[in-house]
Amino acid sequence: MTAKSKAQSAKTNDVANCEIHLVHLDKVVACQSHIATLNQAQQMADFFAVLSDPHRLRLISALSEQELCVCDLAVAMKMSDSAVSHQLRILRSARLVTYRKEGRNVYYSLDDEHIVNLYREVADHLQEV
């Protein structure tokens, strides 16, 4: 047995499975109404794909506390204004951030409390030991 196949075998053994195949129909029926449709699941996958970029997550973390202009974000992130603007455009198209113009500056903030809560819940979850 090769090292690779041993590693795959070890991974398979780590997965807990039922020893006896016994379907609890009452539980299956009860959960079926809560299962996302394929369309809903695809929308969620697309949403999480936007969040899968570390630069965008860092922007969200910066905006989780306060509204910031592109210039401030670029300095805080140690990125160019155009790189920050590109990431913000993606976040805006996913309705994660919103913006307002004040004179020649553009200020960004998280779109709503759902986004703030989502960010904080994930951050809290990852800090659990």
One-letter identity of residue 128: E
pLDDT at residue 54, as a whole number: 96
Domains of the chain: 27-127 (1.10.10.10)
Mean of the per-residue pLDDT values of the chain: 89
Of 125, 93, 127, the closest CA to residue 111 belongs to 93
Write down the pTM of the prediction. 0.76
Place of tokens 């703030």: 116
106 membership: H or E segment, kind and range: strand 105-110
pLDDT at residue 19, as a whole number: 86
pLDDT at residue 2, as a whole number: 58
pLDDT at residue 11, as a whole number: 54
Local confidence pLDDT in tens for the 129 residues of the chain: 555 555 555 455 677 888 888 888 988 888 998 999 999 999 999 999 999 999 999 999 999 999 999 999 999 999 999 999 999 999 999 999 999 999 999 999 999 999 999 999 999 999 997
Of 59, 119, 62, 61, the closest CA to residue 90 belongs to 59
What b/e string do you get for 46-63 counting C-beta neighbours within 10 Å, with b at 16 or more? Answer: eeeebbeeeebbbbbebb
Distance (Å, whole) CA 32 – CA 35? 5
Of 90, 73, 89, the closest CA to residue 81 belongs to 73
